[in-house]
Amino acid sequence: MTTSSRVDWNLPPGPPNPLYGAGARTEEKALVQLTAITATAVVIGHAVLTAESSWMLWQYVLAAVLVFDLAGGVVANGLNTAKRDHHTPSGHVGAHGPTRLLRRPVLFTALHLHPVLVGLVFPGGTWWWGLCVYAVVLAAVIAVRCCPLYLQRPMALAACSLTAVVAPLAGAPDGFWWLPPVIVLKLALAHAVQEEPYRPVTSSQRHQRGSEKPIRPATSPVDTPEPASTDTSATELVEDSPKPASWKDIR
C-alpha cells in the first residue's frame, strides 16, 4: 500500500528532539533502535566468538556504545524529521545546546573523535589510523557542504563508496573493520546532505487539499511525462526548499 507524502518544512509544536527530530513517528524511532541494537549485537558477538581481540570489560562496553551511536546515527540522521530540524531555515525558536550543534554539520563532525579514540585504546590500533579516518570524514563533510544542492548527495555517495573500497586496505584495530564506512555514512551522507523532509499526509490534510491539485506520492515510480506548460512540480520543489547554505550555515 502506497502512502501519500509531501514536502513539509513546518516544524511541529513542542520542544525539539535532538535524536530523531521533532515529530518523528513510532516506526521511524523503532527503525533507528532496531538498527543500533542489531549492529551492536553483531559487532560485539563477532568479537566474543572469534576471540580476535584481547579486550577488557571496559573496552567491550566502550565498543558497544560506539557502534550503537554510529550505526543508529546513520538512520537517525537520515530521518526526514531530522533533516527538517537540521536544515530548515528558521530552526526551533529558543533552540540551544545539541539542537543548535546539529545545525552545524562541520562542527558536529569535528566533535566526532571516535576514530582517534579507537586507534588509541584498542588492540591493533595506531594513532595515525584514527587521525587519518577522522581527517577523511571531516574532509568529506566539508566537501559536501561546499557543493551546490544538486551535487551534495552525489558527493556524499562518492565519499562513502571510496571509503568502503580504501578502508580495508589500511587495516583497522581489532573489531573495528566497520568503523570508517559507517562513520562516513552517518556524517557525510545522512547528516550533511540537505534534503527535502517528506512527511505522511493525514486524512485531514487530504480533505483540506481535496479541491486543490492531488498530492503526488513521494514513492511513486517515474511519472508519465506531461506537457511542459502544465508541469509545475520542479517549480514547487524549488519554492518549498530552503535556499543554498552560505559559508556561515556550512559551519
What is the dihedral sign for C-alpha 104, 91, 203, 31? Answer: positive
> What is the model's pTM?
0.78
94 vs 16, more confident: 16
Is there a contact between 215 and 202 (Cβ–Cβ < 8 Å)? no
Residue 87: what pLDDT? 85
Average pLDDT, the chain: 82
Q: What nine digits make up the cell of 42?
A: 553483531
Return the minimum-mean-pLDDT range out of 23-32, 42-51, 183-192, 227-236. 227-236
CA distance 61 to 129: 21
Please say if the pLDDT value at position 222 is more than 60: no
Is there a contact between 140 and 152 (Cβ–Cβ < 8 Å)? no
